Structure 1
């Protein structure tokens, strides 16, 4: 029995109860691109665009339909012709009550410029769908990176606060020992306890915030909610460099606006082509039968004989007057094209302004981060010296707490500066078309 319990204990120690996976930013980005539900919807739109091209291309191919009909003319129509050659002023012919027909009908456009332009428009819509996917992919990558950086900063803040709590607990023990020996006042112990409780509350709030940020990240990348993940820690020694290569004018959002303008011009052209004539090939191969009694369909005889008729024809359609409908559509299409051009120019100017501001922010953020990192390390050194002096009875509790407060402020400024720099660098990666570098 003891051997069995020992074996079970060893197995429990070797098998982790809740394995935690550490995900890098590139892994999160790849998972998001592959699993994000909204991005899958965009991929479905691309597939729909391919089917739409096939659908419009089919309109240029022959259309063959099988047609079967049967009629009961319970009040048969009559035809009246000139019967003077037969001694009667009119010759009245009455149609038989029942008739049926079966055959094939053919239609094929020989020339229809509107259909050809419609096919070009469908291909352009497919291109717009692909650009929309590229834009949605870039937006998703930027969103995931922002969430990852934010969670990283929160985790870094938690680690710093925990280290501060450890330091303050040591200080508390020293102060309590001093108080027991009559070397410190009770108010000093209370001051340490207050600061310690404040740090613990700050840690608890940050941990709750980190859980929410991780859960949101899981949702965006479609990661199982019941599985725990961890992020790579912040490496303050290495700051990502961004190549300032200028604004990339082939960004998906700019190409999208450009293609929308071209689409409006194509639609205008298609409306204008509605004034052109169209030519269509038609044909039929039909068998018809007529009888005066329904029962005659079920036995052979002269009354249910099937007659063949077939032929080919060409139909020319020339638009003459449409009530000025096309003129109004053309004017609307011209305004749509003008609006698309204005939207493109406005977006281009806006992105250029964003690039200039981001470049300026990058320099300022990097300089600010470097200073805050130096201040953070300096504040830790000052706090360590003051604490040591307090242990030796040289420094007062007030000096220790002041240095501790300055160190906490420097730590928070360092975390905020690092996060701000990363956001600015991320914005520049998007504007310069280098977001894919995050996947490496």
Structure 2
């Protein structure tokens, strides 16, 4: 009796622990539809966040480039201690002659131990062709980062949709295997009862057990595949791995035939890849323009205001009467003459790059049309295969049920039931493979049409 009480206490403790764990996990469950998953991914996916940050870098680049055309003002403060004042040599003759020195030159020190200077210098670019081209290039680069962000969002949406479908398909497959296992367990119980009554052989029981064990192995594989697909889904949308997720939509909700028919007759919209390529072409043209303006002279102006002082002792350097003013104003004109044909070589490179991008643009247009045609053909074939596999699964289920009834009534064999169950399992596997292929084909057509 004591052992029984201890066992009951242990079971109660385990149930309580399971309840606490379940309660904790239940508080962390995130429920997501497909649209909610896409919105969450665009805010939390690493690639999507980095693409958004890249646009901020592009905006800062424009500001940086614009600042080069504004006045550049710098200040400086110098304090110099001449530990050994440099010597200047002059001829030992004329007004500097010193009869006491036997050398033909006199070593003279011009300078004081301490000197200081405070200066402010301003530079202003007046004309530089590269500056204006650079401004255009910075703005064009910002446009490119925007298109890159859109392309990244398309890729993220594609990956999230495929991951979402993978979770749903694996979960549906698990439910069907559970149903199959339940049927086989019932069949095994009935077969064992018939064996004990002497109506069937031991071999019949073994056949059903083998089928039951195979289903359990298949169920373990599907459970593992479901767990993996869930983790991949959380990674794609940027959800922490310790968070539980529940998908609120089913395959039936997402398998809209009318939507598929609309996709098959749709022409689509402009693909972001075209904008990316065109923007890269604009950048190369701006680089060509920049290399051309390198032949034009550059003009700039400068101004300097400074105050200088000197003394024998450090304490006297700050006396106001020791400071004297100096100011300079001027301009600079830089004229390119010869650079060894470096600019000419860069210009030739730019023109070849433009030709390459123009060829890529033509090929991209053709590739997109082929991609649309191929995606529509794949979706049509996937839908047709799905219809066939749906019919096969229904027929296989009907055959299994009829075979089981015949076996129960004694007019069929146990082997027929096992074979019918195996055929049903194969039909279900083929159906879900076709369903997944159809969903993926739909996503790929949406991407090809530029509406993802």
Please give the TM-score of this superposition, normalised by the length of structure 2. 0.84
Which residue of 354, 366, 373 corresponds with 2:383? Answer: 366
1:261-410 superposed matches below 5 A:
261-290=281-310, 293-295=312-314, 297-298=316-317, 300=319, 305-410=322-427
SS of structure 1 residue aligned to 2:122: strand
Q: C-alpha root-mean-square deviation of aligned residues, in Å? A: 2.8
1:179-328 superposed matches below 5 A:
179-231=195-247, 232-235=249-252, 238-239=256-257, 240-241=259-260, 242-243=262-263, 244-248=265-269, 250-290=270-310, 293-295=312-314, 297-298=316-317, 300=319, 305-328=322-345
Asked if 1 retains the 8 angstrom alpha-carbon contact of 2:86 and 2:109, the reply is no
Q: Distance in 1 between matches of 2:314 and 2:153?
A: 69
Q: Distance in 2 between matches of 1:120 and 1:39?
A: 26
Deviations 1:326-367 (A, max 9, x none): 112212222222233333333332222221111111111111
Instruction: State which drifts further: 396-405 or 342-351.
Output: 342-351
Deviations 1:156-196 (A, max 9, x none): 11111111111111111221222222222211111111111
Asked if 2 retains the 8 angstrom alpha-carbon contact of 1:32 and 1:220, the reply is yes
- Look up the match of 1:157: 173
- Look up the match of 2:66: 57
1:37-56 superposed matches below 5 A:
37-56=46-65
Q: What is the CA distance between 1:382 and its match in structure 2? A: 2.3
- Look up the match of 1:16: 23
Question: Given the superposition, is the C-alpha separation of residues 355 and 385 from structure 1 closer, same or farther in structure 2, using an over 3 Å criterion?
Answer: same
Instruction: State which drifts further: 231-240 or 400-409.
Output: 231-240
- Look up the match of 1:29: 38
Q: What is the CA distance between 1:117 and its match in structure 2? A: 0.6
- Look up the match of 1:90: none
Which residue of 62, 74, 78 corresponds with 1:69? Answer: 78
SS of structure 2 residue aligned to 1:39: helix
Deviations 1:262-299 (A, max 9, x none): 111111110111111112121122222345x3458447
- Look up the match of 1:109: 125
Instruction: State which drifts further: 333-342 or 144-153.
Output: 333-342
Which residue of 414, 428, 432 corresponds with 1:411? Answer: 428
Asked if 1 retains the 8 angstrom alpha-carbon contact of 2:375 and 2:448, the reply is no
Consecutive unaligned residues of structure 1, counting only runs of 5 or more, are 85-92, 436-440
SS of structure 2 residue aligned to 1:235: helix
Deviations 1:295-329 (A, max 9, x none): 5844749xx63222334333222211122111122
Question: Given the superposition, is the C-alpha separation of residues 124 and 185 from structure 1 closer, same or farther in structure 2, using an over 3 Å criterion?
Answer: same
Q: Distance in 2 between matches of 1:203 and 1:238?
A: 29
Consecutive unaligned residues of structure 2, counting only runs of 5 or more, are 1-11, 96-107
Q: Distance in 2 between matches of 1:42 and 1:77?
A: 64
Q: Distance in 1 between matches of 2:173 and 2:139?
A: 51
Which residue of 116, 127, 132 corresponds with 2:148? Answer: 132
Q: What is the CA distance between 1:398 and its match in structure 2? A: 2.3
Asked if 2 retains the 8 angstrom alpha-carbon contact of 1:247 and 1:351, the reply is no
- Look up the match of 1:88: none
Deviations 1:359-402 (A, max 9, x none): 11111111111121122122212222221222122222222222
Q: What is the CA distance between 1:238 and its match in structure 2? A: 3.9
Q: Distance in 1 between matches of 2:318 and 2:346?
A: 59
Q: Distance in 2 between matches of 1:235 and 1:433?
A: 25
Q: What is the CA distance between 1:96 and its match in structure 2? A: 3.1
Q: Distance in 1 between matches of 2:178 and 2:342?
A: 74
How many equivalent pairs are there?
A: 413
Q: Distance in 2 between matches of 1:78 and 1:185?
A: 126
Instruction: State which drifts further: 67-76 or 120-129.
Output: 67-76
Please give the TM-score of this superposition, normalised by the length of structure 1. 0.86
Question: Given the superposition, is the C-alpha separation of residues 382 and 221 from structure 1 closer, same or farther in structure 2, using an over 3 Å criterion?
Answer: same
Q: What is the CA distance between 1:50 and its match in structure 2? A: 0.9
Q: Distance in 2 between matches of 1:75 and 1:252?
A: 69
SS of structure 1 residue aligned to 2:111: coil
SS of structure 1 residue aligned to 2:369: helix
Q: Distance in 2 between matches of 1:173 and 1:79?
A: 123
Q: What is the CA distance between 1:63 and its match in structure 2? A: 1.1
Q: What is the CA distance between 1:76 and its match in structure 2? A: 5.7
Q: Distance in 1 between matches of 2:439 and 2:390?
A: 14
Instruction: State which drifts further: 152-161 or 326-335.
Output: 326-335
Q: What is the CA distance between 1:38 and its match in structure 2? A: 2.6
